[in-house]
Chain A
Amino acid sequence: MNVDVAKKLTEVFPGCLVEQDEFPETHIQLQPDQWSKIASYLKETEELSFDSCMCITGVDFGEEDDLESRYNLHSMKHNHKIEVRISANRKKPIIPTVSHVWQIANWFEREVFDMFGIKFKGHPDLRRMLLPEDWVGYPLRKDYVGPDSYHGIIIPKVKEVWE
């Protein structure tokens, strides 16, 4: 299914895929710029009808590498699914939002923002989801170093031996 959809997308949106020798079976690697439009297309086209965004995941490939956001889409109507991957630069991770296409993406994107710091452009309410609002840093990034204290509460890295 991934290959079929990827072929279709190259016809409708030329240059939307990241250049690769062949279409991979497992996923579709997209460029970020047209993602909003592509998402609506995937949802609204009759023979695709990806009406359910099952999951949005963040991935960090290491301190030198890019971040990535992955979307698992499923169609209730045709019972098929695809995975879309979009990578984002570590220094300036910006990906267009799809929260207006799938409502659930609103919270998924907030969670990915919370943990990886990927900014979803156009998101109506991009606040932290799980951590406190004044938390510094994005904990699931590989280069994350935890704070030494939070509101005056010491965070010992190693607890001293019990007496």
Chain B
Amino acid sequence: MGILENKFQDNIIVAKLDQILSWARSTSPWYFQFGLACCAIEMMATAASRHDLERIGMMPRSSPRQADVMIVAGTVTMKMALRVKKLYEQMADPKYVIAMGSCATSGGPYTPHGYHVLKGVDLIIPVDVYIPGCPPRPESLIEGLIKLQEKIRHERPLTRKNVS
């Protein structure tokens, strides 16, 4: 706390509840860690000490129940596609998906002849941010995650929509 310590009396912050909620959500989106192929190595590198994802509030969870963001890092095979879908359904709302690498966005090097590869995760689950690259560098992944945080920050979950 340093310079802020012992400087104030009891405080009140006035803000929109919506804003505070989205701000809180956006600064700690825990991600669901599972790697499917080579891209997973970059994701691990991003989470490790050099790039350190935890400084932007993201930490890996191993269970879909505890995760907010699913980073699909790698080639999604047809066999895995059914499981990815199931895992997405097991995540609690609000949930977000990041398609990392060209495999997850479009099938990548396996388009159009890879008989066993899903041609983009957006065919089975909704994707929020696409990160191109084969594999994307940790910097690109972080940029994508910050984009996602921006997106979450601009959400207004409590505001009623379609007022007629």
Contact = CB atoms under 8 A, between A and B. Distances in A.
Interface of A: 131-132, 135, 139, 144, 146, 150-151, 153-159
Contacts of B112: 156-159
Main DSSP-derived SS at the B contact region? loop
Contact of A146 (B107, B115, B124): B115
Contact of A153 (B107, B111, B115, B118): B118
B119 A144 contact: no
Interface string B96-112: 00000000001100011
Contacts of A144: 115
Interface of B: 78-79, 81-82, 106-107, 111-112, 115-116, 118-120, 123-124
Given A131-B79, A132-B79, A159-B107, A154 B115 contact: no
A153 B123 CA distance: 7
B112 to A, nearest CB: 5
Nearest to A155: B119
Contacts of B106: 159
8 contacts: A132-B79, A135-B78, A144-B115, A153-B78, A155-B118, A156-B123, A159-B106, A159-B107
A139 B124 CA distance: 23
Nearest to A147: B115
A153 B116 contact: no
A76 B13 CA distance: 77
